[in-house]
């Protein structure tokens, strides 16, 4: 006797209603990305481990891949991608001669990480990325464009699906690195990695990491934490940083870049983007502006959308390809919302109409009605059995199908009970019923 299969921790699978929610969100993301001229792209699922492990401390997160019967001498050292950015960088260098720069792409694919599953964190999940990459150089105005595109996508989800508002927190790695150098710190990357833990372990424990692990003086550690406490949505950002009394040329560059992003964003998405200098982003390929995004009312989700500027991730030995990008953790956003019922759909199938079958001898007639409705782009299915009409109506109710068609010329709205005569070649459902209604709040 076969035992019932067990769920694999960290590998979420939606029921049909959840999948309808996910598809609707992905459709809105695609639409917004394409409105801004981003082309769709997919990259392969596997990369050489040397590529995946080449940037940042991510070895523990990579799933290695090998053929079942491969011997040790010939086994390919491959791994599943843990994000879309590193494979995209490889893609850019491989196909640079066939791309037009600045190259704008969006990418919606599964990624895999071998970390411990927990609320909002999975081992297999869907990410939706946008990136702009230049050849040799990339203007800094794209550091503003990228978050505005993504904030536009979230605004669309709020307007159409009821998603709660989001707030994007922005910082700049040049600003932070220049500040640390102005304090005499040489291992700036190590400091950034500790500061990135602030929200998880708090300032006292971070201060201990800075002094005990990195050997910083207590007053220097306090200065690092003082920078991380600055949060601003307006013109006072520069004054608050300057008031800390630290000077360095790289600090000046990063502060100017961040100020431009924050102040300009208020014109287009007021209140949706704030400077938050505790944002560090753990991966070390970021070199400038960095982003993290939270969903209001759902702090348990953490950052649902993040990214930043990278000036040296892609390099073919002759040319460097700087870029800036941001990624939505679609599964991270939707998984908990679908599980607790916050995100839902009005039906579990795309079908608008169920065509009833009087008896099996008349199934051909029902198939003809369904074909006529589908010719008008009306999603239709035919009843699986010629049961009593009451059973066929209940079948439609369980699936959320709003209309049942009887014979060749009668259609019933099973919610209101209204039944009218109609021609299947001309009948149109209400616009609100053509697709399932999705709600995220």
Distances (CA, A) of 367 to 138, 392, 406, 408: 57, 16, 12, 10
Q: Residue 52 and residue 308: Cα distance in Å, rounded?
A: 18
Helix (H) or strand (E) holding 344: strand 344-345
Is 84 labeled as ligand-binding? yes
Cα separation, 259 vs 257, in Å, equals 6
CA 141 to chain centroid: 22
CB atoms within 10 A of CB 422: 17
Alpha-carbon span 242 to 205, nearest angstrom: 26
Q: Which residues of 75-109 are buried (b: 16+ CB within 10 A; e: fewer)?
A: eeebbbbbbbbbbbbbbbbeebeebebbbbbbbbb
Q: How far apart are CA 98 and CA 118, in angstroms?
A: 41
Nearest to 280 by CA among 293, 291, 296: 291
Q: Is 44 annotated as a binding residue?
A: no
Q: Tell me how crowded residue 186 is: count the other CB atoms within 10 A of its CB.
A: 9
**Helix H or strand E segment including 143:** helix 142-161
SS3 label, residue 330: helix
State the Cα angle at 87 between 52 and 320, rounded to 5°: 95
Phi/psi of residue 254, nearest 5 degrees = -65, -40
Query: Is 286 labelled as part of a ligand binding site?
Result: yes
Query: Binding residue per annotation — 285?
Result: yes
Residue 113 known to bind ligand: yes
Q: Is 127 annotated as a binding residue?
A: yes
CB atoms < 10 A from the CB of 183, how many? 20
Spatial separation of the C-alpha atoms in residues 181 and 36, rounded to whole Å: 38
Q: Which long-range contacts (CB under 8 A, 24 or more apart) does 180-185 make?
A: 180/224, 181/248, 181/250, 181/251, 182/246, 182/247, 182/248, 182/251, 183/220, 183/223, 183/224, 183/246, 184/220, 185/216, 185/220, 185/224
Q: Are 354 and 396 in contact (CB under 8 A)?
A: yes
**Tokens 């502060």, residue?**
255
Which amino acids are annotated as binding site for L-histidine, given as ranges?
83-85, 113, 127, 131, 281, 285-286
Which amino acids are annotated as binding site, given as ranges?
83-85, 113, 127, 131, 281, 285-286
């Amino acid at each position: 006797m076969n035992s019932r299969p067990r769920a694999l921790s960290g590998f979420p699978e939606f029921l049909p209603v959840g999948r309808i929610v996910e598809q609707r969100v992905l459709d809105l993301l695609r639409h917004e990305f394409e409105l801004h001229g981003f082309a769709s792209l997919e990259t392969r699922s596997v990369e050489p481990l040397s590529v995946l492990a080449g940037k940042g401390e991510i070895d523990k997160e990579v799933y290695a891949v090998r053929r079942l019967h491969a011997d040790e001498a010939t086994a390919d050292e491959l791994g599943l991608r843990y994000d879309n950015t590193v494979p995209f960088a490889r893609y850019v260098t491989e196909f640079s001669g066939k791309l037009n720069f600045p190259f704008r792409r969006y990418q919606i694919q599964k990624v895999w990480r071998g970390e411990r599953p927990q609320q909002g964190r999975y081992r297999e999940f869907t990410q939706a990325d946008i990136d702009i990459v230049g050849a040799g150089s990339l203007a800094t105005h794209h550091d503003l464009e990228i978050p505005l595109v993504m904030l536009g996508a979230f605004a669309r989800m709020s307007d159409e699906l009821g998603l709660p508002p989001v707030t994007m927190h922005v910082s700049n790695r040049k600003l932070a690195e220049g500040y640390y150098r102005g304090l005499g710190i040489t291992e700036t990357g190590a400091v950034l990695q500790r500061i990135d833990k602030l929200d998880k372990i708090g300032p006292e424990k971070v201060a201990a990491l800075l002094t005990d692990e990195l050997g910083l003086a207590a007053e220097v550690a306090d200065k690092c934490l003082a920078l991380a406490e600055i949060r601003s949505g307006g013109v006072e950002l520069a004054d608050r940083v300057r008031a800390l009394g630290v000077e360095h040329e790289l600090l000046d560059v990063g502060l100017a870049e961040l100020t431009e992003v924050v102040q300009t964003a208020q014109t287009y998405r007021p209140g949706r983007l704030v400077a938050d200098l505790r944002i560090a982003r753990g991966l070390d390929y970021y070199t400038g502006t960095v982003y993290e995004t939270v969903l209001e009312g759902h702090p348990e989700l953490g950052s649902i959308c993040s990214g930043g500027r990278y000036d040296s991730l892609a390099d073919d030995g002759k040319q460097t390809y700087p870029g800036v990008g941001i990624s939505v953790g679609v599964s991270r956003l939707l998984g908990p919302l679908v599980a607790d019922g916050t995100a839902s759909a009005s039906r579990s199938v795309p079908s608008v109409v169920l065509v009833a079958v009087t008896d099996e001898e008349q199934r051909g007639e029902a198939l003809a009605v369904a074909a006529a409705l589908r010719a008008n782009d009306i999603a239709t299915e035919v009843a699986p059995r010629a049961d009593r009409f009451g059973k066929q109506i209940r079948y439609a109710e369980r699936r959320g199908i709003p209309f049942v068609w009887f014979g060749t010329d009668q259609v019933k709205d099973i919610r209101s009970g209204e039944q009218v005569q109609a021609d299947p070649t001309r009948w149109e459902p209400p616009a609100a019923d053509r697709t399932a209604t999705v709600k995220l709040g």
